[in-house]
Structure 1
Amino acid sequence: VPKKDSMGMDYIPVYADDTGSGVAVSPEMIQTMGIRTSPAETRDFSRVLRAFGTVETNERLENVTVSRLEGWIENLAVNAEGDTVRPGSLLYRIYSPDLIAAQKDYLNSFKIGNEARIASVRQRLRSLGMQNAAIDRLTETRQVIERVPVYAEAGGTVAELQVRNGDYVKPGTPILRLQSYADVWVIASVPESDLPLVQAGMPAELDFPSAPDAPGKGQVDYIYPTIDPKTRTADVRIEVDNVSGYLRPGAYADIRLNIGGRPRLSVPSEAILLGSEGARVVIAEGNGRFSGRAVQTGTSANGRTEILSGLESGDMVVASGQFLLDSEANLKEGLAKLEAPDASAASPETPL
């Protein structure tokens, strides 16, 4: 009659395997304990990862205009943030005594006819901030331009305007910042455990509640190298076409990534036993014999866990009832250590 524990439940008889480490269980007990085995096999780990994020400006499409010389701003063509600027359009004119002197020197070099000097003074005009269009006009008309025009080198929307008509500027003074919204970034928060499955260039499906007509596709552009210690998530940058202009910075985005598509050696996740020494599984060796084995695990998806080392394809692992088997194997190992003679035990002759 099986013994009973303190709560009145029957002990399950499990026998030590004399052939080595592990335990041996009779077929009747295997059925009673509900032991179920499953092979380690290569499976497709593809799944859909849901993430959430916000729309942000594409910093690559930002253009900052700064002054290269001393002078006074006149005829400012943009008046406020939000104004649209086209490439090549007039931004402002500047009155600069230094630039006027350089233009006179340039025209004098033509009278001398020294080509080397002409090229040198032309380069000086460029370094002072005079653009090629204005230099070409000066070359053609041979007349000093007192209010030198400054044209936009890139198009976009005025995101920041830092001067007004009549302002005095010096070299390095910020004038305005242009931002193009033809492309935007969506910054998604991805759990730390899923980061190894996300790769640059991966397609992303997006849904914007505030802009249902916006493009629903993007591409992973960059995975940030840091993890937020509070949320255990990392930022993933997705580039999205926004020529239509539907997307605005700050808008909420629902993101879906199809990740982990490559085949991986895996076992059912419930077969993994986690302890102080790491992950392990219980191997079904056949003929009712079972033994524990340490494994190194990878990612988990669809109820399965990737095995990086410790198992080969076809190895049978216990997916149900393994806790009883593992505890019995550990008990046998502990008893064996207790029964082993201790070579260092003190003899009666050993001095205290």
Structure 2
Amino acid sequence: MTGRTLKSAFAVSVVLCIGMASTLGYILWQHSDFAVMKTDAGTVVARGPEAQPETVNTRGPASSAKTDEPVLSPIQLSPQRMQEIGVTTTVAEMKDMNDELQAPGSVAIDEQRLSYVQTRFPGWIKSVFANATYQYVKKGQKLFTIYSPDLVSTEQEYLLAKKNQVAVSEHMHGTPAEEGNWLLQAAAERLRRYDIPEAEIEQLEKGGTASHEIGVESPASGYIIERNAMPNAYVQPETKLYTIADLSTVWIYANVPQADVGRLKPGDLGRVSVDAYPGRQFNGRIDQILPDVDATTRTVRVRLVMSNPGILLKPGMYVNVDIAAPLGRQLVIPASGMLQSGTRQIAFLDKGQGSLEPREIETGARLGDSVVVLKGLKAGDRIVSSASFLLDSEAQLQSSMSGYLPQQQNASPQQSTEQMHIDFSTDPNPPHKGSNKLHLKLTGADGKPIVSVQPSVTFFMPAMPAMGMAAEHAVAMLTDKGNGDYQGTVQLDSGGTWQVTVTVLRGTNTVAAKQLSISATGGM
């Protein structure tokens, strides 16, 4: 290949690379997250893809897609204003608290008070005296009689050993007499291993004849909950003939949500109420928190041991369980003193002289009319215990005013305040959703009209997260009509209660301001 050919190939490659680079650059520029836009003034401004045109009447900040919580500012209220909105205060204090948990439950048999009746020898049941399920029997009461060839044989061995012992002891001494005693003791021990009562053995000695039927007694007092003893039935030692339950004490199983079970421990007090006995309560304690969670209901079974006088609590009954979980000393405030503002919890700290500071707090369990405070307050802090919602609106209003008022250029650090009477009204009165006319009459302390000022009116409605509504605001600049009269119009996007601030500027200084609440008609 000649040098001329190589140069031509190289030039073509360079041109192709430049073309590909240009195409790639154009594609990247078209898909860039920040497109270059030219303003009317000819300047170039970089805007994000979510930038929205700025407008006056809109919900929330106009030039931001951010959904941060509203900023709350300290509030300064006059005693008259605090009385109007019903502000009351209380003190955060440390108290010994108990958390009352309520859960459904059921009554169950105390498994530690179950007794079983079995024989230690095979045989045929003859007579049955405890012949019904849920029949009550006492300890030592005869349940049935049984005939057992093995038992009869052992009784005869005992009687024979007894007779031999008497004969040997009368005629012989030493080793033969000791062997006679040993044989008698061995026969008696076999009877005891058959669980024959001592009274039966004594009766055997006195009667001198083996009994073909022996009675079996109840080992405990209680109710028969299972019965397999039938007349003429053949039974083996492994046959369970009766199950007897002592119901003087029962278990209560409470189904506690897994989120609450961490507050409980064995020994905590519990109260049980039953619809069958209105006004009556049964007291007990937690015996065990079972190590198992129901996969369907996400609850944990908590077992309480409870006395059952009169057997009023029947196994299988549904009950209502109240458990008192001691929480120790906790910092608490009235629940009415905590405001849920979006995702935050707010309390208003009373600084005195009408100064109220919104304070973000972290709360724990709600106990009746009180709530536990984990962070944000300390014992002795005085907080607002009522009208928190209205104070939240005031705080958002004062925090938002600086962003919604007209821009003040070169404002002096010290703003003067003039004695001025502000008479504000709307047309229609009250205002409604949509366009409204505003009228403002400014007069001085001497009754003369105020001229050459720049008044503005700001309407603000705080956010209502519970209803899914963002904050709303609207600003109107009023025009001087002469003789202290100023007029303008405002567009309200919804009805409801608006916080209205009238601001009067003279040059760059705020010389007067007035705040009031106005209810507009027309719906949200």
State the TM-score bracket (shorter-chain normalisation).
0.5 to 0.7
Query: Is 1:263 aligned to 2:314, yes or no?
Result: no
Q: Secondary structure at the match of 1:129?
A: coil
Q: Which runs of 5+ in 2 are unaligned?
A: 1-53, 63-70, 77-88, 166-176, 397-524
Q: Aligned in 2, Cα 1:64/1:133: closer, same or farther, shift over 3 Å?
A: same
Q: 1:45 pairs with 90, 97, 119, which one?
A: 97
* Distance in 1 between residues matched to 2:61 and 2:306, nearest whole Å: 63
Partner of 2:158: helix, strand, or coil? helix
Shift of 1:124: 2.0
Equivalent residue for 1:236? 302
Q: Distance in 1 between matches of 2:74 and 2:206?
A: 103
What is the CA–CA distance in structure 1 between the aligned matches of 2:346 and 2:256, rounded to whole Å?
A: 29
Cα 1:7–1:202 shift into 2, 3 Å: same
Q: Which amino acid aligns with 1:176?
A: Y
Q: Tell me the CA shift for residue 102 of structure 1.
A: 1.8
How far 1:173 sits from its partner (Å)?
0.9
What residue in structure 1 maps to residue 219 of structure 2?
153
Residues 142, 56 of structure 1: CA spacing in aligned structure 2 closer, same or farther, 3 A cutoff? same
In 1: Cα distance, 2:260 partner to 2:232 partner: 55
Partner of 2:284: 219
**Which residue of 104, 114, 122 corresponds with 2:188?**
122
**Aligned equivalent of 2:273:** 206
Q: Distance in 2 between the 1:201 and 1:191 partners? A: 17
Give the CA RMSD over aligned residues.
4.6
Q: 1:184 aligns with which of 250, 253, 261?
A: 250
What pairs up with 1:282-297 in 2 under 5 angstroms?
A: none
Q: Which residue does the alignment assign to 2:140?
A: 88
Distance in 2 between residues matched to 1:90 and 1:51, nearest whole Å: 43
Q: Does the 8 A contact of 1:156 with 1:180 survive in 2? A: yes
Q: Choose from 96, 110, 120 the match for 1:58.
A: 110
Once the two structures are superposed, residues 271-303 of structure 1 have per-residue CA deviations (whole angstroms, 9 ceiling, x without a partner) of: 89999xxx9999x9x9x999999x8x8644347
Q: Separation in 2 of the partners of 1:116 and 1:272?
A: 88
Amino acid at match of 1:43: K
1:24 deviation in Å? Answer: 11
Correspondence 1:168 to 2:220 = no
Label 1:311 to 1:137 Cα distance change in 2 as closer, same or farther (>3 A): farther
| Runs of 5+ consecutive residues of structure 1 not aligned to the other structure | 12-22, 29-36, 326-352
CA deviation string 1:291-319 (max 9, x = no partner): 999x8x86443476657799976799999
User: 2:196 is aligned with what amino acid?
Assistant: M
- Distance in 1 of aligned mates of 2:202 and 2:141: 16
For 1:141, the aligned partner's letter is G
Distance 1:153 1:141, change over 3 A: same
Identify the match of residue 70 of structure 1 among 111, 122, 137: 122
CA contact (8 A) 2:94 2:379 kept: yes
2:284 maps to a residue whose letter is Q
* Distance of 1:138 and 1:201 partners within structure 2: 54
Identity %: 24
Per-residue displacement from partner, 1:136-172 (whole Å, max 9, x unpaired)?
3223333212212211121222211113111111121
What's the TM-score, normalizing by structure 1?
0.65
Cα displacement (A) at 1:174: 0.8
Aligned-partner residue type, residue 180 of structure 1: D
Q: Where does 1:132-147 land on structure 2 (aligned, <5 Å)?
A: 132-147=198-213
What secondary structure sits across from 1:159 in the alignment?
strand
1:251, CA displacement in angstroms? 2.3
**Aligned equivalents of 2:125, 2:133: Cα separation in 1:** 17
Task: Figure out how many residues of one structure are paired with residues of the other and give that number.
Answer: 304
TM-score by length of 2: 0.46
Aligned residue for 1:328? none
Q: Distance in 1 between matches of 2:372 and 2:251?
A: 32
Would the aligned equivalents of 1:271 and 1:317 in 2 still touch at CA under 8 Å? no
Aligned AA for 2:146? I
Residue 264 of structure 1, CA deviation:
2.1
Amino acid aligned to 2:58: M
For the residue of structure 1 that corresponds to 2:152, the secondary structure is: helix
Deviation at residue 200 of structure 1 after TM alignment:
2.2
Alpha-carbon distance in 2 for matches of 1:256, 1:156: 28
- Deviation of residue 219 (structure 1)? 0.3
> Residues 140 and 100 from structure 1, CA distance in 2 versus in 1: closer, same or farther, beyond 3 angstroms?
same
Q: Whose Rg is larger?
A: 2
Q: Hey, what does 2:58 align to over in structure 1? A: 7
In the superposition, relative to structure 1, how do residues 208 and 26 fare at CA in structure 2: closer, same or farther (>3 Å)? closer
1:16 equivalent in structure 2: none
Q: Deviations over 1:171-227 (max 9, x none)?
A: 211111122333333322223333324542514142332x459x6222024233223
- Match of 2:129, SS? coil
Amino acid at match of 1:186: I
1:101 aligns with 2:153: yes
Q: Cα offset for 1:113?
A: 5.9
Match of 2:465 in 1: none
The one-letter amino acid of 1:249's match is: P
Measure the CA separation in 1 of the matches of 2:322 and 2:368: 16
- Residues 101 and 40 from structure 1, CA distance in 2 versus in 1: closer, same or farther, beyond 3 angstroms? same
- Is residue 301 from structure 1 mapped to residue 367 from structure 2 by the alignment? yes
Secondary structure of residue in 1 paired with 2:250 = strand
Distance in 1 between the 2:369 and 2:223 partners? Answer: 49
Aligned to 2:260: 194
Give the 3 Å change call, closer, same or farther, for CA 172–274 of structure 1 in structure 2. farther
